[in-house]
Amino acid sequence: MKTEGMSKAAVARAAACEPLARITANAHTHTTWCDGKNSAEEMVRAALAAGFQCIGFSGHSYTWFDESYAMSLEGTKRYRQEIRRLAQAYRGQIDIRLGTEWDWHSKDTDPADYDYVIGSCHYLYSPVSQAYYTIDYTPQELKRCLQEGFDGDADAMVCAYYKNVAEMATQRRPDIVGHLDLLRKLNAQGCYFDETAPGYLKQACRAADACMEAGCIIEINTGGVYKGYRDTPYPAEPILRYIARSGGKITVNSDAHDAKGIDFMFSEALQLAKDCGFSSLWQLTADGMKEFSI
C-alpha cells in the first residue's frame, strides 16, 4: 500500500479548481422505473427543494437473472425518454443528466446511450454452485452465498467480491464506481468477516487501485446509512484515506431511493472527505463530472 501523503499532482490539480462550499448535485438517483419509491419528476422536485444545480438519474441496468429490482428492457427505453423529457421541461431551473447504475453482471446495456455510467457490483457468481447471489439484499442470502457458493470461506468470498470490483473498473471503465465496499452492508457486527483485518483492507485497497488506474471517480455513498444498515458511508474510512493518499478522485452521492433521501448526510460526507485528506471533490454538472476544491 502507498503511504505517502496526498499526491502533489492531486494537490496542484485541486488548487486550480473552483471552490465548493456545499454539495449541489447527486448523480446516484433511483426512481419507480427500478426499485425507487418516487417518480423521476418527484425526485427532480426534491432536488430543486434541496437547492441542487444538477441531478443525475441512475436506474439499475437490466439483469437477466434477477428482474426484481432492475429496469426491464422495455422500461429502460421509457426511462430514457422520461429523463430526456424532464431535462427539457426543467431547463433553466436545474440540469438533468441521464445515467445508469450498470451492474457488472448486466450484459444488455450500452453505456454509449447515457451521459455517464456508475459501475456497481451487486452480485457474486459462484462457479461452485453456479448461482448468482445478491450481496446487499438480505442476511439470509449473503449467508447462503458464503455457505453454498464459497464453502463457508469468508476470505474467498471477500477476495471474489473485490476481484469483481477491480475487473468491472478495468474492463468497463465507468465514470463513477458505486459503493466500492458494498459487501460490508450486511456485515454490521462483523458477523461474516473482519473489516479491520489487514488482509481484508488490502483486498479493498487493491480494488481501489484498479478503479483509480482506470481513471474512475469513486463515490462516497450515504445510502447504506440512510437505510439504517451502517453508521458510516461507503467506502469505510481506512479505504477513503488510502484513496486520498493515492491521489484518487472522489464524489458524494446519496444513492437515493426516495425523495427524502436526496441529499442525506451531504454536509457530513463533505467533512469526511476533508478529514480523510481530500482537497478536491468531483460533482455532476451540465458538462459532465467536474472537479471542485474543498
- The region, left, alpha or beta by phi > 0 then psi within -120 to 50, assigned to residue 247 is left
Residue 95 CB, nearest distance to Zn ion (Å)? 20
Report the DSSP beta bridge partners of residue 47: none
- Shortest Cβ 248–Zn ion spacing (Å): 20
Least distance between Zn ion and beta carbon 120 (Å): 4
- Which of 14, 34 has the CB closer to Zn ion? 34
Instruction: Report whether the peptide linkage leading into residue 235 is cis, meaning its omega lies within 30 degrees of zero.
Output: yes
| Residues engaged in binding Zn ion (CB under 5 A) | 101, 120, 178, 255
Q: Which three cell numbers stand for residue 169?
A: 473498473
Residue 112 CB coordination number (10 Å)? 6
CA pair distance 278, 258, nearest whole angstrom: 29
**DSSP secondary structure string for all residues of 218-240:** EEEE-HHHHTTS-SSPBSPHHHH
Residue 10 or 135 having the CB closest to Zn ion: 135
CB of 84 to Zn ion, least distance (A): 20
Smaller CB distance to Zn ion: residue 101 or 263? 101
Work out how close the CB of 30 gets to Zn ion at its nearest, in angstroms, rounded to a whole number: 6
Residue matched to cell numbers 467506502: 235
Which one, 63 or 126, has the nearer CB to Zn ion?
A: 63
Cell of 65: 437473472
